[in-house]
Amino acid sequence: MSIKSRENLVGAYAFLAGIVLALLIGFFAGQNTNPLILGILSLLGLIVGFFVAESHVQTFLLASISLVIVSSAGMQGLVLSAAVMGINIGKIITSLLGALLFLFVPATIVVALKTVFSLAKS
């Protein structure tokens, strides 16, 4: 039986809490999100960025940059006005993508800066 590493435990819990919070914001808060909650989401993003392991930097940057670009483009060009059972899908998707941006943009910036500083040291 192998012992699992706990080096990324804080980052993993921050990521999980951020994703759950982003989903809750997307489905329930909509456009009227409290700035304090968005600040908490950004703080969780910073924590996630600080705890990304060196061996996972390239994968994280590729995935997070892809998500940031797609979320931003989705928010800009989203013209979904379909309503299913009285629920406006476009507003839900827009608020979900916005909440994900509040989580992933700080994390991406932190990991990119850590990468640049590690390249400058070598």
**Domain that residue 33 falls in:** 9-121
Taking only the tens place, the pLDDT of each residue in 51-90 is 998 888 999 999 999 998 988 887 776 554 555 556 667 7
pTM: 0.82
Q: Is residue 1 part of a domain?
A: no
Between these two residues, 33 and 114, which has the higher pLDDT value? 114
* Cβ pair 31, 95 in contact under 8 A: yes
The pLDDT assigned to 102 comes to: 92
pLDDT band of 1, cuts 50, 70, 90? very low
Residue 2 included in any domain: no
Give yes or no for residue 34 having a pLDDT over 80.
Answer: yes
